[in-house]
Structure 1
Amino acid sequence: MKYALVFGAMIALSGVAASTEADPTPPRGGGIAGEAKGSVIDVKAIDVSADGSVHRPRNADGSPASVEFRRMPASICFTQDFPTTKGQVGACGPGEREGALVVACEAEQVALDPIFKQTWVNNPDGTISDLSRWELQNPASPGDCLAAVDLAPLAEAEFQRLTITPSPVTIQPPDGWTLVNVDTITYTSPAPQTFTTTLLGIPVTIEATPDTFTWDYDDGTTPMTTTDPGRAYPHHTVAHVYEEEAVATITLATTWQGRFQITGTATWTPITGTATTTTAAPPLTIHEARARLVTEPLD
C-alpha cells in the first residue's frame, strides 16, 4: 500500500470538545458508524433527529456506547516541509501546511478513507462529557485498500435481497389450450439481469444469470430440471406430452447464479449461493382430439 500527499482546498471536519448530549456537527440524515475489530467492523446506525440532535450508537446489549468510529479523509500537517501530525482534515495548527493523505492502491482495488475514533463518557443524567477529538484509530496505517474478495460476503447477502424478475413462460400452442399425446412446447429467456448498488459505500454491479430451469407440468409427473431454457417451434428442445384431458397450471422455478464487479474495474467475482424465482403460467386446457364420421364432406 502506498500513500501520496495532495495539497489544495480541503473541507474542514472539526472535532468537538464539549460536555453536551448532542454532537454539534452530526452527519445530516444520520449515518453509519462501526467499531473496528481487526479486519471486521461492527456497524451501528446513528439516528439524527429533525432538530439535528444525535442519538449516539448503543452496544449490542442496548447500553449506551462510549466510542464511535467513522471513515473520513485524513491529512498531514507540515512545518517547514516536515510532517508533524496526522489527523482529520482541518486539524492543522497555525503556521502549518496541510496536505491530504491519499491511499494509492493496486489495480482492481479501491481506496478507503482511514478510520477515525471518538470517545466520550456517558453520565448518569444522560449527558456526555470528555468528548474527544476525532483521532486516527491506527496512525501507522491511514487508509485501506479494498479488493473484491473483501466485499464477497456482503455481495452474497445483497444477492439474496435482490428482487429478480421471474423468468417468463412461453407455451406453444399459444392460445391457452393443447392436445393429448402431442408435444406441448415450453421455453423461457436465458437473459441475465444486472443491478447496481453500494457495498460499504463502494459502487458495485451485481449480475444474476439463470442457471437451471425446473418445469412442473401439473399432471402428477416428476418436474423436469434442465440447463436448457428451451426454444420455439420448430426448433424446440423442451416439451411435455399430456396423456389425459384436464386443466393444468405450468410453473417454472429458475435458479440464478450471481457475480459482482466493483465499478471501474474489469474483474467479475463469483457470488456464493443461489437465488430462486417461480413463475406460474395462465391455466392450460388439455383437450383430446377424437375422430368422427360425417355424412357431408368438410369444406
Structure 2
Amino acid sequence: MRHTWLLAAAMVASSIAPSPEQTSTPPARGGGISGEARGSVIDVVATDVSADGSVHRPRNADGSPASVEYRRMPASICFTGNFPTSQGQVGACRTGEYEGALSVTCAAGQVALDPVFRQSWVNDPDGSIRDVSGWELVNEGDCLTGVDLAPLAEAEFARLVIAPSPITVQPPDGWTLVNVETITYTTPAPQKFATTLLGIPVTIEAVPEDYRWDYGDGSGPVTTTDPGAPFPDQSVSHVYTEEAVATITLGTTWAGRFQITGTDTWTPIAGTARTTSTAPPLTIHEARARLVTEPLD
C-alpha cells in the first residue's frame, strides 16, 4: 500500500507503530471510536458512552483506568509552497500553510481505513484526569481485506437469525398412502444479511449445505445435499409402511461467507449454523381394495 497526498505529488514513506504494551480496552457500550494497539496492528473499538451522552475514558483489561486512547479519523498534511511541513488532525495547519488530505491507496479488493491518532492523559486517585495530550498521528492508514475481518464475521454469523428452510410435501393435502412414494423438497435459496464490522459495511451470506430429513416414523433421518424437487422431477422421497400420523422435520446446515461492500471477493466463515423446520402432521392411510355390486362411474 502507499500513502498519497491529495493536494500534492509528494509521498510519505514513514509509518509509526505504537508499542504493544500501550493498550486500552474500553467497556462494551457503544459510542465514538477508540482503539487497542498490538504491535503494528491497531484494532478500532467503541468508546464507552453513557445514556446521558457523557463520555468515559476506556479501561484496561483488568478494569483499571487506561491512560491512552487510539482513534481512527481523517488526517491532513500541511504544506509551505510545494514542501510538506507537518501532518496531523484536519484543520491543524498554521497560517500561511495549505492543507491536503492524507490518504492510503489500497489494492483491488481492499478497503482503506483512516489514519490512527493517539491521546494520553494522567489519572488522578480521585477519578479525575489531567495533562491530556493532543491527538498524535501514529499510523497513516491501513488497507483491510476480508481475511482481517474473518474472526468478527464468524462471531456475527453465530448471532444471525436464519430463517428455517420451508418444507413442501406431495401429496399436498396433509395425507399420503402406505407403500406410495411421498415426495419432499425445500427451497435452497441463500440468505443475505447486511451489517458492519469495525464500521465497515459487509454482506454476510448463509448458504444451505446439507439437509437432514426425518420422516417421523422411526426409520431414522436421511441426510442429502439435494434439496429435492416437485413431481415429476422428484429426487427426495420416502415410503411409509404403516398407517400412522407422522411429523416430518428438516434440519438444514448453513455455511457462511461474507463480502466487503463494493468488492467482488467472498471470504468463507469458519463453522456452520443449523435450523430446524417442522411440517404439519401427515396422516398415512392404507388403500384397501373392496368388491362392489354396482358399477363405478
Q: TM-score range by the shorter chain?
A: 0.7 to 0.9
Q: Judging changes above 3 Å, is the alpha-carbon distance between structure 1 residues 162 and 120 closer, same or farther for their aligned structure 2 residues?
A: same
What is the deviation of 1:70?
0.8
Displacement over 4 Å in runs of 4+: 39-44
Residue type at the aligned position of 1:220: G
In structure 2, what is the Cα distance between the partners aligned to 1:266 and 1:43?
A: 24
1:228 corresponding residue in structure 2:
226
Return 111-120 or 197-206, whichever deviates more: 197-206
What is the deviation of 1:33?
2.1
Q: Alignment identity in percent?
A: 75
2:175 corresponding residue in structure 1:
177
2:159 corresponding residue in structure 1:
161
In structure 1, what is the Cα distance between the partners aligned to 2:44 and 2:246?
A: 50
Q: Judging changes above 3 Å, is the alpha-carbon distance between structure 1 residues 203 and 42 closer, same or farther for their aligned structure 2 residues?
A: closer
Contact 2:37–2:43 under 8 Å retained in 1: yes
Residue type at the aligned position of 2:223: T
SS of the equivalent of 2:275 reads strand
Unaligned runs of 5+ in 1: 9-28
TM-score normalised per structure 1: 0.86
2:132 corresponding residue in structure 1:
131
What is the deviation of 1:48?
2.6
Deviations 1:199-257 (A, max 9, x none): 11111122221111110111111200011110111111100011111111101011112
Contact 2:109–2:263 under 8 Å retained in 1: yes
Counterpart among 290, 293, 297 of residue 291 in structure 2: 293
Unaligned runs of 5+ in 2: 9-29
Q: Judging changes above 3 Å, is the alpha-carbon distance between structure 1 residues 202 and 184 closer, same or farther for their aligned structure 2 residues?
A: same
Alignment of 1:108-257 (within 5 A): 108-138=109-139, 142-257=140-255
In structure 1, what is the Cα distance between the partners aligned to 2:202 and 2:143?
A: 16
In structure 1, what is the Cα distance between the partners aligned to 2:3 and 2:41?
A: 23
Contact 1:45–1:57 under 8 Å retained in 2: no
Counterpart among 230, 252, 259 of residue 257 in structure 2: 259
Contact 2:44–2:72 under 8 Å retained in 1: no
Residue type at the aligned position of 2:100: G
What is the deviation of 1:2?
1.4
Count of residues in correspondence between the two structures: 276
Contact 2:254–2:274 under 8 Å retained in 1: yes
SS of the equivalent of 1:56 reads coil
SS of the equivalent of 1:154 reads helix
Contact 2:146–2:260 under 8 Å retained in 1: yes
SS of the equivalent of 2:151 reads helix
Q: Judging changes above 3 Å, is the alpha-carbon distance between structure 1 residues 213 and 250 closer, same or farther for their aligned structure 2 residues?
A: same
Alignment of 1:8-27 (within 5 A): none
In structure 1, what is the Cα distance between the partners aligned to 2:242 and 2:69?
A: 68
